[in-house]
Amino acid sequence: MSEMFDAVDALIASRAALPPAQERKRLRAAHGLTLDDVAGALKVRRATVSAWESVKKPTEPRGPEREAYARLLKQLAELYPAPVSATSTDASAAPVPATSPAAPVEAETPSTGTAPEAAVTTATGNTRTPAPVTAVPATAPRPAGTTRTPPTSRRPGVRKAPPAGAPAGAADPRFENGPLTVVDVEDGKVLAYCTGGLVLDVPAKSLPSLVDWTLKEAKLGAPKLSGPGKDADPLLVLTEAALERYGLPAALTEEERIAGRIPEGHKVIKQLTRAQWQLTKRGFGPWARIYRPATGAERACVQLCIPSWNALDTRHWGAAGQLPPAELARLLGVYASRVMTPRGSTAVTGLELMTALHPPTRASEPDADGKRHSAHNPGSLGKDPVDCAPCEAPDGHPLLANLPRFHVRGPAEKLFEEAYDWARPMTDAECTLRHLVGIDVNMAFAAGANGLTVGLGAPTHLSDPVFDPKLPGSWLVDLSHVDLSRVKAGKEWVELDGSMLPSPFTPKGERPEGPAWYATPTVAYAVELGYDVRPLEAWVRRENGRYLDGWYNRLRDAYVATMADLGVATDLAPADFLTAMNGYAARDPELAIVVSAVKATVKGGLGKLRERPRGEGWRPGEPWRALARPTWRPDIRAAVISRTRINLHRKIVKHAAFTGQYPIAILSDCVVYAASGPGPLDFLPYREDKPLPGGFKLGINPGLVKHEGTQSVLWGEEVRERFDAPELNLARYIKDGSVTDADHGE
């Protein structure tokens, strides 16, 4: 009989009533829970919980998940009763604004009450009782970016979100105050704004004592991303007021800006030296690192970020440097938890992320005496740099020191894998259409890195090799015989208008004229199109692996999670996706900055793999500083760009074979088509929300496409006529249609 009762109880629970989607989201945010917290507790995917909270098209949990979810919501509803407006059953009730996991909403009480007082232990060990905190209604918007939270309104009880993807309760007690803090001065008092709304009193009177306080009392930092790796050092972001307090200039002079640092004789640097702190070779600049040599496994290192010294480049971080401390801490905290604690520019951080996920060394097995030693970590690039192949070396590299002074290397001497910059004149038929529509590939270069096999060790030279698509490297081969008017698509040959397509083998889309160096993905694509290849020579890497997979996964998850917080989910129908993307950045400008920074981390990190000299008195033929890094790997950069360009060309060919439509222009990851309507759905062949297999697909995941911009065909023809350039690349201007004389050197 008890089994029957249990079955009946389960049946009733499986149909448990649930509140509307917006109320589910409010309750979760009110308790400071992230989507990952709920997903971990219910043993479902993060995207599943997000779908349960989707206001437009919520899905409903079933089975035991529904019972547990209903129980969770019921208990939260008892803790956080909704205001009258939120409990209304009217479908037109105002929706609850989205709240980032990095900035959970405090526990609400009725709007006429106050939050209970709670004693707070500061990082200095002092206990204080804050003033009562007035509750904020669930429907109230987040404070504007220019609003500062006064010291009496600190929120000590707010829980901090764990790093994206971490299970609930996985916070490291050593870093309980988060990965970073923004140090500011208010009313003569030094305050440290941490992630999650926590504010700490800072007793430090000088910069050396601030560093000491950070390492001994602040409980800042982040756990390592990989088993053999290292914990992230704490990051201190210094406002202009904090710079003044600690004797530093609010801005760099022109000379200091060019040098990238303040003079070594500055009084603050002397203070650090007397306290036995050291600076890295780049000195005290916008991203200074202050450390003492490690003793055993103990690290003593603090990273500084100084926005007023242009540490946060506006091209990637927008107006982040002008945000109030609490807002800036929130923004950088989201980036730190989902990507990593910034180590410098987005480019530097992108490169550091590769190393953090694949440290060069690990502890060996115990020897006869039971001691462990530093050993190579399989799958990493190792701790020592390797020489590139001569064809992979950029101009001025020491490997090319014996070339004549003014020698210009051609395709048969130099690997040149770059992104597309191609355009063609419009046909008469295309001129009869009304619109030019641009689509852009999301995180295109990240998608190109996904699953890519790259070399891990030094190259090996081969003469007259047989091409192996599984062997990463550079191949000297003649691909001029590949005819795009007849290519293989799967097992069948298809006829195309080759004159309307760019060549997949050159960035400018021109057909090769003879032997040239190509990365493995480019040569493999020629074979895929149905043509034989006979390399003349090659530089291959027999030690290889999917080094970038973890890097891709981390950045993909950061991008997708942040876009979901901005209302753009991964499971939207095409029309709903285009609607959600319209004005997404305005929903939370700070999270939109995080999206921009994540994308810049991808491109910048790949660019650092082939970093060129940066002054320092360098002369052609001499080594430069970046060559000493094991992560200086131009072959990996070339392979990623090659695969990204090939991925795009494959979709273009598939689209042309099915629809007869050809691109007007391509710039990197943006493609422009002529269309009868103003949107992507006016030319992409969707049927019942299903895209063309192997073609372009609308969506937010890396590799899928979004709407980049629309202009009229008349605009395109007028611009090309104005500059007398029939093949002007319109993809460069499709987003806003703005073209100036300065763009063309007029």
Specify whether 336 is located in the same domain as 395: no
Q: How confident is the model over 76-92, as a mean pLDDT?
A: 57
Specify whether 406 is located in the same domain as 532: yes
What CA–CA distance (Å, rounded) separates 39 from 54? 15
CB 277 within 8 Å of CB 291: yes
Specify whether 173 is located in the same domain as 296: yes
Specify whether 403 is located in the same domain as 323: no
What CA–CA distance (Å, rounded) separates 344 from 349? 6
Q: Which of 545, 565, 597 is the last residue of a domain?
A: 545
> In terms of pLDDT, which residue wins out, 9 or 39?
39
Which of 60-64, 415-419, 454-458, 488-492 is predicted with the least confidence, judged by mean pLDDT? 60-64
Q: Which of 522, 545, 568 is the last residue of a domain?
A: 545
pLDDT confidence of residue 55: 72
* pLDDT tens readout for residues 19-67: 888 888 888 887 878 887 888 888 887 778 888 888 766 788 877 788 8
> Which residue has tokens 């270069």?
445
CB 214 within 8 Å of CB 233: no
CB 348 within 8 Å of CB 629: no
* 428, part of any domain: no
Range of the domain at 30: 2-87
* 423, part of any domain: no
Q: How confident is the model over 513-532, as a mean pLDDT?
A: 97
Q: End-to-end distance of the chain based on CA atoms, in angstroms?
A: 89
* 204, part of any domain: yes
pLDDT confidence of residue 13: 53
Q: How confident is the model over 358-383, as a mean pLDDT?
A: 88
Mean per-residue pLDDT of the chain: 86
Specify whether 327 is located in the same domain as 473: no
What CA–CA distance (Å, rounded) separates 391 from 646? 21
* 322, part of any domain: yes
Q: How confident is the model over 459-480, as a mean pLDDT?
A: 97
Which of 76-90, 92-106, 191-205, 541-555 is predicted with the least confidence, judged by mean pLDDT? 92-106
Specify whether 333 is located in the same domain as 395: no
Statement: residue 361 has pLDDT above 80? yes
Specify whether 178 is located in the same domain as 310: yes
* 63, part of any domain: yes
Q: What is the pLDDT confidence band of residue 115, given thresholds at 50, 70 and 90?
A: very low
Q: What are phi and psi of 655, to 5 degrees?
A: -65, -45
* 710, part of any domain: no
Q: State the CATH number of the domain containing residue 26.
A: 1.10.260
Percent of the chain with pLDDT over 70: 85
Statement: residue 369 has pLDDT above 50? yes
* 652, part of any domain: no
Q: What is the pLDDT confidence band of residue 131, given thresholds at 50, 70 and 90?
A: very low
Statement: residue 121 has pLDDT above 70? no
* pLDDT tens readout for residues 603-645: 999 999 999 998 778 999 999 999 999 999 999 999 999 999 9
Q: How confident is the model over 257-269, as a mean pLDDT?
A: 94
Specify whether 157 is located in the same domain as 79: no
Statement: residue 475 has pLDDT above 60? yes
Specify whether 157 is located in the same domain as 221: yes
pLDDT confidence of residue 172: 84
Q: What is the pLDDT confidence band of residue 296, given thresholds at 50, 70 and 90?
A: low
Q: What are phi and psi of 387, to 5 degrees?
A: -70, 145
Contacts of 550 (CB under 8 A, 6+ apart): 226, 357, 358
Q: How confident is the model over 484-506, as a mean pLDDT?
A: 93
**Which burial class, exposed, middle or buried, applies to 585 when counting CB atoms under 10 A from its CB (0-12, 13-18, 19+)?**
middle
pLDDT confidence of residue 236: 98
DSSP code of 134? B
* Percent helix / strand / coil, the chain, rounded to 5: 35, 15, 50
* Domain count within the chain: 3
Q: How confident is the model over 720-724, as a mean pLDDT?
A: 91
* pLDDT tens readout for residues 683-703: 999 999 999 999 999 999 999
Specify whether 324 is located in the same domain as 457: no
pLDDT confidence of residue 629: 96
pLDDT confidence of residue 6: 59
* Concatenated DSSP letters of 8-46: HHHHHHTT-----HHHHHHHHHHTT--HHHHHHHHT--H
Statement: residue 740 has pLDDT above 90? no
* pLDDT tens readout for residues 392-405: 999 999 999 999 98
Which of 118-132, 379-393, 466-480, 700-714 is predicted with the least confidence, judged by mean pLDDT? 118-132
pLDDT confidence of residue 166: 39
* Per-residue exposure over 310-336, b if at least 16 CB sit within 10 Å of its own CB, e if not: bbbbeebbbebbebbbbbbbbbbbbbb
- Give Dmax (Cα) for the chain: 94
State the Cα torsion 222-225-230-232 to the nearest 10°. -30
Specify whether 201 is located in the same domain as 278: yes
Specify whether 162 is located in the same domain as 289: yes
Statement: residue 126 has pLDDT above 80? no
What CA–CA distance (Å, rounded) separates 718 from 714? 6
pLDDT confidence of residue 25: 85
User: Parallel, antiparallel, or unpaired for β 235-238 and 180-186?
Assistant: parallel
CB 313 within 8 Å of CB 345: yes
* 504, part of any domain: yes
Q: How confident is the model over 315-339, as a mean pLDDT?
A: 96
Model pTM greater than 0.75? Answer: yes
Q: Which of 545, 571, 590 is the last residue of a domain?
A: 545
* pLDDT tens readout for residues 143-188: 333 333 333 333 333 333 344 333 333 468 899 999 999 999 999 9
> In terms of pLDDT, which residue wins out, 590 or 146?
590
